Amino acid sequence: MGFADQRYTVNLSILFAELPLLDRPAAAAAAGFTAVEMWWPWVDAPAPERSESDALKRAIEDAGVRLTGLNFYAGQLPGPDRGALSVPGEESEKFRANVEVAAEFAESLGCGSLNALYGNRVDGADPAEQDALALENLALAARAADRIGAALLIEALNKPESPLYPLVSAPAAVEVVDKVNQATGLGNARFLMDLYHLSMNGEDLPQVIERYADRTGHVQIADNPGRGAPGTGTLPLEDLLDRLRKAGYEGRVGLEYKPVDRPSAETFDWLPVQSRAAR
């Protein structure tokens, strides 16, 4: 097993980000990949002009790649925001306005998962009220995802880089997954296991895999320290992916690392070309 035995998807919001948005799907295809994912591409527009979304849809289709994962609107990413759905006022309203827009775009490309970042704690807001708002909005998102046959992903980030984000452990994220499934009865909320974020939190990654592989809807990787490509840090990513497969995880592995000081196309030397196409 190992790196060559996984199915990969490239996150076009962090890799190939040096290129214009509409050029990124073709660049991923040229590098040998057949599946891509992305954060919500229009950080200031929960509901962009139809011409903009149609142009991105054509770029993905023309490149011959499949969109397999998409974030709901999450504010400024990269930037200070870590989601919108638990933030009272304008931001959560933007999230709600985005839910059906994102689901429709995902459905048009056969995308099977939608990621909903929880959002930061806000000064002056009661955390309990933020959590109640989050559950309401996550249930809305889960129902929209269910209508298009998709999973709703809920992700833990890391406390050093996202100190105001409340889901900074695997158990915290899985607890929210359970609450959403209980609220909707749909069972389509799943854990997004990002090994970089969990490692930054100091979690026991083999134990997390053992406990939560069967609850996991998607996996993302980057090395640590540095959030670079596999092999640039010290995480035993090949071993961890082997553990995931042995634990029963059969989904894709999202490449969500920073190219650092190289063009993105030059950061895939750790992965044989023949292993980059999703099978």
Cut 0.95: pTM above it: yes
The tens digit of pLDDT for each residue in 176-198 reads: 999 999 999 999 999 999 999 99
User: Given this model, what pLDDT does residue 2 score?
Assistant: 77
pLDDT band at 1 (very low <50, low <70, confident <90, very high): low
Round the CA-based radius of gyration of the chain to a whole number and report it. Answer: 17
The tens digit of pLDDT for each residue in 30-84 reads: 999 999 999 999 999 999 999 999 999 999 999 999 999 999 999 999 899 999 9
| Residue 155 bears catalytic tag | yes
List 37, 91, 203, 256, catalytic entry? 256
Residues 43 and 79 sit within 8 Å (Cβ to Cβ): yes
Would you report the helix, strand and coil content of the chain in percent, each value rounded to 5?
A: 40, 15, 45
Provide DSSP, 66-124.
Answer: EEEEEEPP-SSTTTT--BSTTSTTHHHHHHHHHHHHHHHHHHHTT--EEE--B----TT
List 49, 155, 203, 266, catalytic entry? 155
Ordered domains of the chain (ranges, CATH): 3-275 (3.20.20.150)
The tens digit of pLDDT for each residue in 90-107 reads: 999 999 999 999 999 999
pLDDT at 278 over 80: no
